[in-house]
Amino acid sequence: MKVISPKKDEYGGHTQDSFIKMLSEKVRRQAERILALETYKDLCEKRIKDFSADHPLPVKPEHIGQSITSPHFGGVSESSRKSRMELETLRMENDRKTSEIADLRAKLASIQENMSRERLEKKNSISAVQLQDQKIYQKLIEQCNSCLLYTSPSPRDS
């Protein structure tokens, strides 16, 4: 029996060997993805049991969208109630802290604005003093330049 080499067109532009390698790699990637999804499913089921110990597993499509307080799920567990109360307490604390932060930011902005205004006033005050000093200095120079001291010749000068 004679082995006929396949044409490249039969495998989408690939040889039979390269096509097999490509499919093998695709199957390997899909197997890795399935393993990752199963690990994630296990984690989700653990979290569901932490939240509600009576929750039926595996989760079925008819469970989706139902309240955990429904009779089907056996009500809310004590740990779930505690968790919700802790969550509500943390939310209220977060709201209070957020409000405090907003107040502190407003105070900081006010202080920065006051400091900026004071710096500007101080700079203007210094400029005014420097301007006065310059005017006084200018007057002194004018007085010195306009003052001619007349002296008569002394007998010793001859």
Give me the torsion for CA of 131, 133, 139, 143, rounded to 10°.
Answer: -160
* Distance between CA atoms of residues 55 and 49, nearest Å: 6
Read off the tokens for 69: 């307080």
1-11 pLDDT tens trace: 454 554 555 66
Q: Is the pLDDT of residue 71 over 50?
A: no
Q: Where are the alpha helices (DSSP H) in the chain?
A: 16-51, 78-146
31-57 pLDDT tens trace: 999 999 999 999 988 888 887 777 788
On whether the pTM is more than 0.75, the answer is no
| CB neighbours of residue 128 within 10 Å | 10
What is the three-class DSSP state of 65?
A: coil
